[in-house]
Amino acid sequence: MTAGVRDLALIGAGGLGRETAELVHAINADLPTWRLVGFYDDDPALQGTSIAGLPVLGPVADAARADVAVAICTARPAIGCSRARIAASLDLEPGRVPTLMHPSAALGASTVVGAGSILFAGVVATADVTVGAHVVVMPHTVLTHDDQIDDFVTIASGVRLGGGVHVEREAYLGAGAMIREGLRIGEAALVGMGSVVLHDVPARETWVGAPARPLRSASVDLDALRSGSVTA
């Protein structure tokens, strides 16, 4: 193995996993850092196959016993935040969950990003932005001053947050959503793509439209969701 290069496995062989593999290739092109060893996924149909040129190594539980760093690459909002379930089930020490950032991400010196988070190409964070653990921020998202993004949040591509926005744990912001400054997006809330949010979004609700309004109650038993099977 090249000196200074660590083995890295990706949890989830779906779209986000393949996108993360491409992000890792971009990191390595700038500075060799990771050797991608493959995917772990609970889908029985994927066992023994290859995805994007990488082997599916086994079910997710096997990752806990492997001597590799791990990136959790799942993000389906319909079943709650699967990353939270996976992180709880694997119980990995922080040193095994690296932060992955595309070389083109532009982060202010005062920005803090937690372990296990993945920031894609063109992400901008301006000043005093805090990003928690296992957050996924998709391409061309803009986080402005004093935004706080809690653990396990998913932010889809092209989202724009005004200053001082607080996005609570496990929330999901759809592609192209815009959030006015100073607002709070509640825990496990879902904001639909293209929405323009002018008011706080309560926990576990789904808001859509311009201006955004509640679509339906998204109140769920998060403990029940977290106990489900772990797949991409």
pLDDT tens across 36-86, in order? 999 999 999 999 999 999 999 999 999 999 999 999 999 876 655 789 999
Query: According to the model, what pLDDT value does residue 47 have?
Result: 94
Six token digits for residue 35: 């050797």
Closest to 138 in 3D by CA, of 161, 121, 115, 153: 121
pLDDT over threshold 60, residue 229: no
Task: State whether 71 and 104 are in the same domain.
Answer: no
Report pLDDT for 118.
Answer: 98
Does residue 196 form part of some domain? yes
State which of 96, 111, 131 marks the end of a domain: 96
pLDDT tens digit sequence for 96-151: 999 999 999 999 999 999 999 999 999 999 999 999 999 999 999 999 999 999 99
Domain that holds residue 134: 100-217
Last residue within a domain, chosen from 77, 96, 115: 96
Give pLDDT tens digits for 9-25. Answer: 999 999 999 999 999 99
Q: Where are the alpha helices (DSSP H) in 62-200?
A: 82-90
Q: What share of the chain is helix, strand, coil (3-state, %, to 5)?
A: 20, 30, 50
Give pLDDT, residue 220.
Answer: 46
Per the domain annotation, does 46 fall within a domain? yes
Q: Does 230 map to a domain? A: no
Output the domain CATH number for residue 89. 3.40.50.20
The CATH number for 147's domain is 2.160.10.10
Q: Do both 51 and 144 map to the same domain?
A: no
Q: Which among 43, 76, 96 is the end of a domain?
A: 96
> Given pLDDT bands bounded at 50, 70 and 90, which one contains residue 215?
confident
Task: Say yes or no: 34 and 106 in one domain.
Answer: no
